[in-house]
């Protein structure tokens, strides 16, 4: 595999479309964290985070293979739309619950009902209400874990930041999910 670290996303896309699978792998590696962050906005009662990550990765792969630089949007923006679209489709099919955060409050695409300022404001207020009610039931430790988890950190990364074991973080997330289920 060549060193693609100095290549732009645009260069990697062009190489990928020309059949270079290593450049495709590099793009997927670069955007894996974006998939994690997007997937963290969803929660499946009794489900597994890996299902969400797989759906998000499928969305990312679709973005890599179908991106057209002449569309007038960056690959980053296109990839995020594809990832979120795949996650929303999976959510509707599999019964996931979507959370919206302040990062989603954008007016990029007025044709998209999720970008309607009124709809976004209502969703954001609902999200804030659930989070504020949930925080009343969480310990200080669980609240710290939740904050890091929602910012896209993995269990090992959270464990390192908080000086705890991976298992301790996993258990905290499970307790948070149990408490969250009372609101859904």
**Domain span(s) for CATH 1.10.10.10 in the chain:** 112-184
Of the listed ranges 8-12, 25-29, 53-57, 124-128, the least confidently predicted one is: 124-128
Give the predicted TM-score (pTM) of the model: 0.54
User: What is the C-alpha separation between 57 and 51, in angstroms, rounded?
Assistant: 10
As a CATH number, domain 112-184 is 1.10.10.10
Residues 54-65, mean pLDDT to the nearest whole number: 91
Looking at residue 31, what is its pLDDT? Answer: 94
Looking at residue 122, what is its pLDDT? Answer: 62
**Domain span(s) for CATH 1.10.1740.10 in the chain:** 7-99
pLDDT above 60 (res 97): no
Looking at residue 6, what is its pLDDT? Answer: 87
Of 89, 6, 110, the C-alpha closest to 42 is: 89
Looking at residue 165, what is its pLDDT? Answer: 93
Cα distances (Å, whole numbers) of residue 171 to 25, 92, 155, 177, 180: 33, 27, 10, 10, 14
Token pair belonging to 28: 């997927």
In percent, the amount of the chain with pLDDT more than 70 equals 73
Identify the CATH assignment for 7-99 out of 1.10.1740.10, 3.40.50.2020, 3.40.50.720, 3.30.70.1070. Answer: 1.10.1740.10
Looking at residue 138, what is its pLDDT? Answer: 92
111 vs 84, more confident: 84
């Amino acid at each position: 595999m060549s060193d693609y670290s100095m290549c732009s996303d645009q260069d990697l896309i062009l190489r990928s479309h020309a059949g270079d699978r290593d450049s495709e792998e590099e793009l997927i590696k670069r955007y894996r964290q974006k998939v994690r962050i997007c997937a963290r906005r969803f929660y499946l009662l009794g489900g597994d985070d890996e299902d969400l990550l797989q759906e998000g990765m499928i969305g990312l792969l679709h973005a890599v293979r179908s991106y057209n630089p002449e569309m007038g949007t960056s690959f980053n923006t296109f990839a995020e739309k594809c990832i979120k679209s795949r996650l929303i489709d999976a959510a509707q099919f599999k019964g996931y619950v979507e959370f919206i955060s302040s990062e989603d409050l954008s007016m990029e695409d007025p044709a998209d009902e999720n970008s309607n300022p009124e709809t976004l404001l209502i969703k954001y207020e609902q999200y804030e209400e659930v989070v504020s009610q949930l925080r009343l039931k969480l310990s200080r430790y669980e609240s710290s874990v939740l904050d890091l988890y929602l910012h896209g950190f993995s269990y090992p990364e959270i464990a390192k930041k908080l000086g705890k074991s991976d298992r301790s973080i996993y258990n905290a997330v499970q307790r948070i999910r149990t408490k969250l289920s009372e609101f859904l």
